[in-house]
Amino acid sequence: MILGAVIDAGAPIETIQAALDTMKVRGAELTCKEAQRGGMHGKLVDVELDERAKRPRAWQDFVRTVEESDLSPNVKQRATTVFERLAEAEARVHKTTIEGVHLRELGTLDTLVDVVGGIVGLETLGIERLYSSPFPTGSGVINSEHGVLPVPGPATSALFAMASAPVIPAPGHAVETGEMVTPTGAAIITTLATFRQPAMTLETVGYGLGQRESRDYPNVLALWIGQEHGASYNDDLTLIETNVDDMTGEVLGFVQERLFEAGALDVWFTPIQMKKNRPATMVSVIVSKASEPDAIALLMKETTTLGVRTRPLTRYEADREVAEADTQFGKVAVKVKRLEGMAVAVAPEYEDCRRIAMEQDLPLQTVYRLIAKDAESQLLD
């Protein structure tokens, strides 16, 4: 379905096939046709395998095949990460090490084609960031080499849990849906995507069709492509706070450095007064939900606090990028702030400004002002 969506959105199947050919695998061929599911039209892609290609392979064989190919470095890195994540999920399910994982049904060449082909399609379309809606859980049971399994399957559920991915009931309150997300699809999406909806200008929509026709919902995967803009909405954050009254500034500075190393998005200190008017410091930390346990453990270990408080946090973020501006001091890195796709402000990078101020024996504020003026004339819309 991912392959069908990227092809329907404009990625030429010939380009994807040519990239797959660089892996020098035999016995797997892509076919694509127009089809319909419910009221939706899109692309139905099949990976046809001969008997040789149906032979199960180890996930390490997939990684080796990708690394020895002529695929782009970006595709190699992403595909390798997907296979490693899939193997880790299987290891969790079967309570073994990742080295001892056997993919069984997932070890045939169609898994390799699905993963690499989908990633090549995303690269061909120039997609820089991928976002996903919550996963539908599906219902019922499926047959496998291990016997009858619940839906979603254990490996799929493990992938959901590893990514802390949001899940929802089947669309339309359908009762018997069967498998709605495969382990391969879950591995691709949980590796490449962030689970939120960005603000964007929609340009193209591609539809990849599933094999089954359902009476209760259109068995379709939609790929929306466009330009992200405005203030991005992020509700996958936690604010952690704690009050301390017996720590030096040096130790607090050390804690701040450790928190940033642990993935904190922001850390700041606020002077407060505690019981009996004792001066103290409130430590505030913004982290993603995934980094929350590590940040709390670090605060408990590195500070004198006996407890922390947390609450969910929503943040709106302007788009930003680092660009180079031609200035009277040469090329200088500047941060560019964008709203609704337009560059509205620039901020020279401190390290570059500091270096220039030292070399030219100029006040730092003067260097900031001159570089900002040159950068604004070049980079603002």
Q: Are 269 and 285 in contact (CB under 8 A)?
A: no
| Cα–Cα dist 103/90, whole Å | 7
Among candidates 206, 220, 228, 208, which has minimal Cα distance to 10? 206
Give all strands of the β-sheet with 342-348 in edge-to-edge order: 266-273, 279-288, 231-244, 309-327, 330-339, 342-348
- Work out the average pLDDT over 189-197: 90
State yes or no: cis peptide before 152, omega within 30 of 0. Answer: yes
Same domain, 278 and 329: no
3-class DSSP string for 281-340 = EEEEEEEEHHHHHHHHHHHHHHCCCCCCEEEEEEEEEEEEEEEEEEECCEEEEEEEEEEC
Same domain, 181 and 54: yes
Same domain, 208 and 292: no
* Range scoring the smallest mean pLDDT among 4-8, 138-142, 149-153: 138-142
- Work out the average pLDDT over 34-48: 95
In this structure, is residue 109 part of a structural domain? yes
Q: Are 291 and 299 in contact (CB under 8 A)?
A: no
CA distances, 341 to each of 199, 227, 316 (Å): 11, 8, 15
Same domain, 279 and 216: no
In this structure, is residue 166 part of a structural domain? yes
Of 179, 198, 228, the residue at which a domain comes to its end is 228
Same domain, 202 and 259: no
Can you give the CATH number for the domain in which 288 is found? 3.30.70.1380
In this structure, is residue 59 part of a structural domain? yes
Of 228, 243, 268, the residue at which a domain comes to its end is 228
Q: How many domains does the chain have?
A: 3
Same domain, 214 and 301: no
pLDDT over 80 at 270, yes or no = yes
In this structure, is residue 114 part of a structural domain? yes
Of 197, 228, 259, the residue at which a domain comes to its end is 228
pLDDT over 80 at 165, yes or no = yes
* Range scoring the smallest mean pLDDT among 23-27, 36-40, 70-74, 169-173: 169-173
Q: How confident is the model at residue 98 (pLDDT cuts 50, 70, 90)?
A: confident
Same domain, 161 and 187: yes
pLDDT at residue 173, rounded to an integer: 66
Cβ-proximal residues to 333 (8 Å cutoff; 6+ apart), any chain: 322, 323, 324, 348, 349, 352
Same domain, 325 and 291: no
- Work out the average pLDDT over 11-29: 92
In this structure, is residue 312 part of a structural domain? no
In this structure, is residue 199 part of a structural domain? yes
Q: Where are the alpha helices (DSSP H) in 95-166?
A: 109-124, 154-162
pLDDT over 80 at 235, yes or no = no
pLDDT at residue 232, rounded to an integer: 65
pLDDT over 80 at 256, yes or no = yes
pLDDT at residue 233, rounded to an integer: 67
Q: Are 266 and 207 in contact (CB under 8 A)?
A: no
| Cα–Cα dist 261/295, whole Å | 10
Q: Which residues pair with 208 in a beta bridge?
A: 43, 221
pLDDT over 80 at 231, yes or no = no
pLDDT at residue 314, rounded to an integer: 83
Give the structural domain span for 95. 2-228
Collapsing DSSP states into helix, strand and coil, what is residue 76?
helix
* Residue scoring higher pLDDT (318 or 85): 85
The four Cα atoms 61, 63, 64, 67 give a dihedral, to 10 degrees, of 160
Same domain, 264 and 183: no
Q: How confident is the model at residue 317 (pLDDT cuts 50, 70, 90)?
A: confident
Q: How confident is the model at residue 102 (pLDDT cuts 50, 70, 90)?
A: confident
Same domain, 174 and 302: no
pLDDT at residue 230, rounded to an integer: 62
Cβ-proximal residues to 217 (8 Å cutoff; 6+ apart), any chain: 38, 170, 171, 172, 174, 177
pLDDT at residue 184, rounded to an integer: 95
- What count of Cα atoms within 13 Å lies in the side-chain half-sphere of residue 218? 14
| Cα–Cα dist 206/32, whole Å | 14
Summary mean pLDDT of the chain: 91
pLDDT above 70 coverage of the chain, percent: 97
Q: How confident is the model at residue 195 (pLDDT cuts 50, 70, 90)?
A: confident
Q: Are 114 and 183 in contact (CB under 8 A)?
A: no
Same domain, 192 and 249: no
- What count of Cα atoms within 13 Å lies in the side-chain half-sphere of residue 133? 11
Q: How confident is the model at residue 202 (pLDDT cuts 50, 70, 90)?
A: very high
pLDDT over 70 at 175, yes or no = no
Can you give the CATH number for the domain in which 374 is found? 3.10.20.300
Cβ-proximal residues to 254 (8 Å cutoff; 6+ apart), any chain: 302
Cβ-proximal residues to 49 (8 Å cutoff; 6+ apart), any chain: 27, 28, 108, 109, 110
pLDDT over 90 at 3, yes or no = yes
Q: Are 150 and 105 in contact (CB under 8 A)?
A: no
The model's pTM:
0.65
- Work out the average pLDDT over 350-357: 94
Most confident of 95-104, 112-121, 160-169, 336-345: 112-121
In this structure, is residue 145 part of a structural domain? yes
In this structure, is residue 313 part of a structural domain? no
| Cα–Cα dist 278/245, whole Å | 7
Same domain, 130 and 257: no
